Amino acid sequence: MTPRLVPPLPPAQVVTGNFGAAPETGWQAAGAALFSAHLAAMASQPLHELGPADPGAEPAAIGFALCLAAAWAGKSGTIWAGEEGVFAEDGAPYPPGLAQFGLDPAGLIVVRAGKREECLWAAEQALSARGAVVVCALGARGKPLDLKATRRLLLFAERNGSKCLLVRPLADASAAWTRWRVSPAPSEAEERELGPPAYKLELIRNRAGPAGARFTIEWNAHARAFRERDVARDRSAASFDGPADPIRARAR
C-alpha cells in the first residue's frame, strides 16, 4: 500500500503583530545565549528527536517540531509524514493553526501513512529533496523503532543536506544528534487571548556536548524565532552540566 499524499493546504491568513521582547539581563541573558547556541548547532545537524515528556504531551512535541520546521524551512519546503493513528489521536494539520506556527500551508506536503514502514519510507524519500525539512511522526503503537531505522534517516538527511525531526515516544536506541523531552508550558497571554506556543524542554542527549539542560521557551511565529523565559527557575532544576546547587540558585 502506498502512503496517501495530501495536496498542499489552501493558503491561510498569517496573524502578524509586534512580538518584540524586552532586553534580557542576568540569569535570563545567560540562559537565552545558551539556548541560542543549541539552536545554532541543531541547524547544522541532520537528525533530531523530540518526545513527549508525559502521556498527553504528544501535541507539544509535534508543536515544537513545527516551530523548528518553520524556522528552518527553505525553498524545498516542509514535508510532514505521519502515521494515520497519530493524526487520528493528536489532530490533522489545520491551516489557521499552522499559521500560528509561522508555517506557510502552501509550502507544506502532508503524507498520511497507514503503516509504520510506509511512514518511514515516505520520510526517507522526502529527505532526498535537497534542503527539505521533514517531520516524521510516529505513535506509541506498533513495532518499536530500532537503531538501524534512525540511522537510515540520518544517512538520507546527511547525503542530501536535509533535516529530519523525528517525533515519537522516547526510547533507548537512536542515531539522533540531539534528543529532547517536550511538555507544554503555560502561555503568557492576556485573559481570554491566545498566546504564543510555549514549551518546557529537557535536553536528554547531545552528541556535540553535555546534556541535562532545561529551558522554558515560547515561539514567535511572526519573527520565526524562540524566546526563552523563566530561566532562573529552570536552571535551578538542572544546569547545562547537570543538577545545580538549589541553595546557590536561590541566593542569586
Query: Tens digit of pLDDT for each residue in 200-229?
Result: 999 999 998 899 999 999 999 999 999 988
Domain assignment present for 23: no
Q: Give the C-alpha separation, 107 to 75, whole Å.
A: 8
pLDDT at 5: 53
CA distances from 210 to 207, 213, 251 (A): 8, 8, 25
Domain assignment present for 2: no
Domain assignment present for 6: no
- pTM over 0.85? The answer is no
Using 70 as the pLDDT threshold, list the residues of the chain that sit under it: 1-33, 230-252
Domain assignment present for 230: yes
Q: What is the DSSP string of 178-205?
A: EEEEEEE------TT-----EEEEEEEE
pLDDT at 226: 93
First to last CA, the chain: 59
Domain assignment present for 17: no
Burial status of residue 170 (CB atoms within 10 A of its CB: 0-12, 13-18, 19 or more): middle
B/e letters for 68-90, b = 16+ CB within 10 Å, e = fewer, are bbbbbbeebbbbbbbbbbbbeeb
Average pLDDT of the residues of the chain: 80
52: CATH: 3.40.50.300
Handedness of CA 87, 93, 96, 100 (dihedral sign): positive
Domain assignment present for 20: no
Domain assignment present for 116: yes
Task: Tell me the residue range of the domain where 107 lies.
Answer: 29-186+195-251
Q: Which of 164, 72, 160, 83 is nearest to 119 (CA)?
A: 83
B/e letters for 4-29, b = 16+ CB within 10 Å, e = fewer, are eeeeebeebebeeeeeeeeebeebbe
Q: Give the C-alpha separation, 181 to 185, whole Å.
A: 13
Query: What is the CA 23 to chain-centroid distance, rounded?
Result: 25
For helices 116-127 and 147-160, give the axis angle rounded to 10 degrees. Answer: 20
Task: Say how many domains are in the chain.
Answer: 1
Model pLDDT for residues 2-30, shown as the tens digit of each residue: 555 544 433 332 222 232 333 333 333 44
Domain assignment present for 89: yes
